[in-house]
Amino acid sequence: MAIQIQLRRDTATQWTALNPTLAQGELAVETDTRKFKIGDGVTAWSSLTYFTQGTQGPQGEKGDTGDTGPAGPQGLVWHGAWSDAHAYVAHDGVSVDGHSYVCILANTNKPPASEPTYWDLLADKGADGTNGTDGAVWYTGSGAPSGGLGVVGDFYLDYTNNVYYEKTGTSTWTQRGTLGQDHGSLGGLADDDHPQYIKHSLAETISDFLVASGAGAFIKKTLAEVKTILGLGSAAYTASTDYAVAAKGVTGGDSHDHVGGDGAQIDHGGLAGLSDADHVAGSVGFTATDKLLGRATTGAGAGEEIACGAAGRALLDDADADTQRATLGIQGVNFFTTTDETPTFPDSIRLQFSGGGLTQAPVGSVLTIGLDPEHSHTLDVDPGTGNSWGIRLTTTAGGETLAAKDVVYLKASDSKWWKAKADAAATSGPVPVAIVVTGGTVGQSIVLLIQGVMEVTGWGLTVGAQYFISAGTAGLITLTPPGTATNIIRALGFAMTATALHFNPSTDFAEKS
């Protein structure tokens, strides 16, 4: 059976009016204020104090962290305007013609407006806005505008009198200003007081000319009058007509007829023997920059326009012969046709160095040679000033990116230098080898040491040891001869110090059995 406990209760007013004495420990509640009192058996209600809340106790310990709630829904990833080249995935958002769409299935080049399998409409395009107020209209005509033309706010230009109007009433046009100003009221200032002013009515027909007749003044001349002023005679001009130039000041020098003239003679001063042949056949109106006057057609004839290439222009721009030799890359070298030696190849030339011939090139000489038609090479017999000395080759024929200390070989099939590796005869055996002094990428200029001494700080060589082409890593040198079957054993030279290698590659090699 359920037990129900009820407390003594009444309103505050009734408790005060009755003012009872509560039994000891008896609790009574004011129903309208929710306050209560506890009796002591002797004190009347009005003298009892309400039961009050005690002081706040200390804060309790923090409870355990609750479990993580479920993940929220996937957010929208906005991509702006839709693109037919973008690969979209679910939840991507795009816009097309004012509409917004969300991707529901991964796709590429699926137009949202016509592919509901892949897109849902997210937001439709808003309604068009209200048209704006019409702007003012400009009318033009000769004379003042009529009252019935246009509406209030429009404008009208009277181009005959150079004035403009604004329509200010239903049939009223008000003049607002002028587009020209008469100089008559400015203390007698007239149009011809302006030196830059040319009165357009002077030139009335085609072929009229305005000729200066004084400071700031012009007069009209006809074509015939202008020809007379210029001494061109009265003949009508055609494309084939050459006007004769009248003789001027013939005072005893040699005179001659100019081609196309009428026999008139022009005095050339005291230049004895000057004749028509001493003049260039004609002048050329060049069609573009970097053109020269010459003759490309076989045989005698008039001058012609000849194109000047970039190399020729570079030589023309050089200030002196030394600069031109630098442009050609032949500083310190004299070229001349072979006359005392039998050429060893077609179109041979002999190179004469200061101090001796090609076969006795002194220290410091540089020889540029062509090892193949696509790449230039420089053979340097300078003892060097940097990290190598001996016979060096400067070339652009690197087959791959090369770095200093790489051992390289010359591949016969493409005439380019590649990293040598002793795992095959083709890359380390019967082939020319060198060591890279200055590296570079494909097509850049690189410097190779063919024979001599290579010095590199911190190289860590074993003094007196012999070095070989590595079979493990392309381009490296190794102390230990390759030991795997079919490897190539080819000596490169000896370490003179811990940082200097005497590079003197052997032409002999052996294949490991």
Domain shared by 19 and 107, yes or no? no
Domain shared by 419 and 480, yes or no? yes
Contacts 24+ apart (CB under 8 A), 41-45: 44/19, 44/20, 45/15, 45/16, 45/18, 45/19, 45/20, 45/21
Whether residue 491 is contained in a domain is answered as yes
Cα-flanking dihedrals φ and ψ of residue 328, to 5°?
A: -80, -10
Domain shared by 368 and 506, yes or no? yes
Q: What is the pLDDT of residue 227?
A: 82
Nearest alpha carbon to residue 86 among 46, 39, 118, 128: 118
Q: What is the pLDDT of residue 356?
A: 32
Domain shared by 41 and 157, yes or no? no
CA distance 8 to 341: 143
Q: What is the pLDDT of residue 409?
A: 96
Rg value, the chain, Cα: 53
Q: How crowded is residue 258: how many other Cβ atoms within 10 Å of its Cβ?
A: 15
Higher pLDDT, 389 or 510: 510
CA distance 159 to 119: 60
Q: What is the pLDDT of residue 203?
A: 65
pLDDT at 513 over 70: yes
Whether residue 92 is contained in a domain is answered as yes
Whether residue 358 is contained in a domain is answered as no
Q: Count of alpha carbons within 13 Å of 259, Cβ hemisphere only?
A: 10
Q: What is the mean pLDDT of residues 318-325?
A: 81
Domain shared by 108 and 151, yes or no? no
Q: Whole-angstrom distance between the N-terminal and C-terminal Cα of the chain?
A: 109
Q: What is the pLDDT of residue 382?
A: 45
Domain shared by 20 and 115, yes or no? no
pLDDT at 114 over 70: yes
Domain shared by 30 and 156, yes or no? no
pLDDT at 239 over 70: no
Q: What is the mean pLDDT of residues 461-470?
A: 95
What does the pLDDT look like over 163-209, one tens digit per residue? 999 999 999 999 998 876 554 444 555 555 554 444 555 666 777 78
Whether residue 17 is contained in a domain is answered as yes
Whether residue 39 is contained in a domain is answered as yes
What does the pLDDT look like over 205-225, one tens digit per residue? 777 787 777 665 677 888 888
pTM of the entire structure?
A: 0.32
What does the pLDDT look like over 256-305, one tens digit per residue? 444 444 444 444 444 445 454 444 444 446 777 877 878 878 888 877 88
Q: What is the pLDDT of residue 328?
A: 77
Higher pLDDT, 474 or 355: 474
Whether residue 260 is contained in a domain is answered as no
Q: What is the pLDDT of residue 136?
A: 86
> In this prediction, what percent of the chain has a pLDDT beyond 70?
72
CA distance 103 to 92: 5
What does the pLDDT look like over 372-429, one tens digit per residue? 444 444 455 444 444 777 888 889 999 999 999 999 999 999 999 999 999 999 999 9
Domain encompassing residue 213 = 200-229
Per-chain mean pLDDT for the chain: 77
> In this prediction, what percent of the chain has a pLDDT beyond 90?
41
Instruction: Judge whether 407 and 469 are in contact, CB under 8 Å.
Output: yes
Instruction: Judge whether 293 and 281 are in contact, CB under 8 Å.
Output: no
Instruction: Judge whether 263 and 283 are in contact, CB under 8 Å.
Output: no
Whether residue 109 is contained in a domain is answered as yes
pLDDT at 137 over 80: yes
DSSP 257-313: EPTTS-S-EEE-TT-TT--GGGS-S-----SSSSEEEE--SSSS-S-EEEE--HHHH
Domain shared by 144 and 220, yes or no? no
Q: What is the pLDDT of residue 217?
A: 67
Domain count within the chain: 5
Domain shared by 379 and 440, yes or no? yes
Whether residue 505 is contained in a domain is answered as yes
Domain shared by 171 and 206, yes or no? no
Domain shared by 452 and 491, yes or no? yes
Q: What is the pLDDT of residue 432?
A: 94
